[in-house]
Chain A
């Protein structure tokens, strides 16, 4: 199975493709692979120029977060497997499953914050 490009993805600055209308928004996605210690080019994201700049920037940020989102989905899938009696990793303890889930709470909240989404978690003063 082919996997996504390894490493931490970085979204470059959002730029219009030309100084005059019509234009598209474009930005480069690169990846820094911490294992091979290599910075490499992944590709270019092109978005319709009719999209408001804030929305285009948010879309670009979301693409840059793909590896982190995949990592978190894998982690949550692991917790679901822990909760499944038919899975080899089944842990017969709701507390253990909850603890494993809460381990990723901060990372999930960070991703949602970067996407501009509410986490639904109450702050310390609420």
Chain B
């Protein structure tokens, strides 16, 4: 039975298949997916900057703006592309000194629909991604 893929609580999520059987192909597909998410999300949301860090053991953050992280979690042949409110210390400090939290929630609510339109609520085969060759 498949384990449930874990991503940050409250995140907007889209799932993709990432199920290449052999390790080198999987690593290549994974790198291509990361690049594809970076390119498409940066076009749709220009406020995001590329980063490379982790929220926990599984959630890799690849883009960050003032309010949110966009990242990828992989497990058992699937990838979850997610957008979630930031949780890093610098963001939490800003929340303590202003109304950043409310602004972030409002921004995420507005951005949920464009995110779903961009990455789709349903799984899209990797071969259908624009950067897939």
Contacts and interface: CB of A to CB of B under 8 A. Distances in A.
B75 A36 contact: yes
A46 interface: no
A34 B26 contact: yes
B77 A37 contact: yes
B17 to A, nearest CB: 11
A28 B74 contact: no
Contacts of A37: 18-20, 26, 74-77
Contact of A28 (B23, B30, B53, B77): B53
Contacts of A32: 23, 26-27, 30
B117 interface: no
Interface string B18-39: 1110010011001000000000
Given A32-B27, A38-B75, A12 B52 contact: yes
Contacts of B53: 28
B75 A41 contact: no
* B contacts with A: majority SS: mixed
Chain B CB within 10 A, most for which of A12, A32, A36, A37: A37
B30 A39 contact: yes
B45 to A, nearest CB: 23
B88 interface: no
B99 interface: no
Given A36-B75, A36-B76, A41 B27 contact: no
A32 B79 CA distance: 13
Given A12-B52, A36-B75, A41 B57 contact: yes
Interface of A: 8, 12, 28, 30, 32, 34, 36-42
Given A32-B27, A36-B75, 12 more contacts: A8-B23, A12-B52, A30-B60, A32-B26, A34-B26, A36-B76, A37-B77, A38-B58, A39-B30, A41-B54, A41-B57, A42-B57
